[in-house]
Each structure stands twice: as C-alpha cells, then as structure tokens.
Chains A and B, each alone.
Chain A
Amino acid sequence: MTLTVNGKPAAIDGKVELNVTELLSVLKVEQPDYVTVELNGEILERDNFPATVVRDGDAVEFLYFMGGGR
C-alpha cells in the first residue's frame, strides 16, 4: 500500500493494512511515546492506536511538540 506521510508518498511493501501501533514501528517513527498521529486530518487518541487501521491512500501526519517550535 502507499500512504501519504507528512505530505510525501510512502510505499509500504507487502501490507494492505496496518494498525497505527504497527505503522509507528514499520516506519521507524522517532520517539513513538511522544508523537501525535493525525489520520486523514483527524487527531487520533493514543489509546485507539492499536484499533485504528490505515489503508492504501490514507494520509498520515506525525506531530511533535518536542524540539521544534519557533
């Protein structure tokens, strides 16, 4: 499947769907304990990560409040 991750296409070979917890690990998302995940424009509750499924064509944004900011 191919997702849009932070605005850019990201192909994940050999998977047709993943839950958000799996996605964090497959994409090796940094600092997974702190990341906020937005799926198709909606912020996900952390508790719902395991039950939320991402499929081909979905847009995912990862957001941090840590080092960045202005």
Chain B
Amino acid sequence: MTANRLPLLEADRVSKRFGAVTALEDVSLTVDKGAVTCLLGDNGAGKSTLVKILAGVHPPTRGEIRVDGEPITFSSPRDAREHGVATVHQDLAVIPLMSVWRNFFLGSEPTVGHGPLRRIDVQRCRRIALEQLQQLGISVHDPDQTVGTLSGGERQAVAIARALHLGAKVLLLDEPTAAMGVRQAEIVLEQIQRARDRGVGIVLITHNPRHAAPVGDRFVILRHGRVVGDFSSREASIERLTTVMTEGG
C-alpha cells in the first residue's frame, strides 16, 4: 500500500565509528507515513547511535540519510527538527516545575499585542495544550498543573503532543517505555498508535518485544551494530523477535 510512496525518512547502509569502536555497520531502515518502525536490540546494539544519526546529533561515518527521498546532512538536532524530524528524549523533554501549558509552548510561545504589551496568548495556550493531549488519549483537566505532578505516561504525552504540534512528521522515541510499569507503558503505546493514525511516521526504540509487537508495522533488529532481522508485522511475533534479538538471525 505504501509501495509507490517515498518513505518520510530513510537510513541507507549507514555505518558509524567512534575511534576504534564500530557502533553501526551497513544499517538500513525506513520510516513510512502513518507507520511505526520498531528498532529492537540489546544494550549496546547501536539503537541510540542510529537514532542520534537520524536526529542530527552525529553525522554518519558512511551511508546516506534521506528525507522524502532527498539525500540530506543534518547540521544539528535543530536542523533535523526543521525538516520535520523530532526526537523525544525521556528525561530532557519536559520541565517538572512548570505547568503543562508552559511546557507545551516553551520556545514557541504564541503572542498577542504589540510593543511592550506583547504577551503570551495564555487562553489559547491552555486550550490548545488540552486539545492536543486529548488527541493522544490523555485527559488532563488543569493546564496550570505542574508537569511534575503528572504520571510518567502523561509526561511523555506532553512531550509527544508538543513535538507534533510543532510540525513533526517523524517522531524518534528512544526507549520511551523503559522506566515504566505495565499501565504507564500501555498509555504511551496508545499515544504512539494515535499519532500514527494521524499520519506521523514513528521510530520506536525498545529492548522489550512485548512493547514493540502490538504497535509495530515494521521491525528492525540490531545486534552488535548490524541488522540481523527486518520483519513486517505479519512475520513478527513476540517469540520470533525475542529469539532474533538474543541469538541473531
């Protein structure tokens, strides 16, 4: 169904060396519109390195990154963001002491008025923040609530909703469910599905096949920096993903 459409984001035979360490070797991965690509692998497999390359943190040593089919070299995470590729870090995303709406619009506050009377359009901020969270299935009642009082899943939602509102076409999520219990992880997976249904392309990194299996459209498994498995959702089962992750393809 997506065969005649260009992927939103591609990594093509990407390698990355840090001095003598080869973190990635000939890794390819595609992210389609409205699809979730899961990136699986044990600790040290190279998942974070790949995502950092996609996010503009590191340049690849070899290989190519393409956005909408066009080769590109991101100069910084900001540059990547301007091309619609946003990363949601687990810790860096939100500021606990600030309210939901202040976090949501941090760095891109909409204003009204001119000159010294130019001010944040607070009513609009409050409304949009709640609406956008609602769309991810999160009902926060008070936009003035500090983010620190939200649950882990709700905090993640603030970060994801914010990236989407700022125009992200591709979301890179590095282990968003790592530190969460079952209930919170489910909330995050639900958000991922809702974002996908809105046409966003998503890369979900996890080392837990149980979290990947229910939401993934495509599964790329890394081991020691190489791709050892690349399955569609029809081919993938939790058992198979687990086996390939631990024993290779």
Whether both chains belong to one complex is answered with: no
A→B interface (CB under 8 Å): none
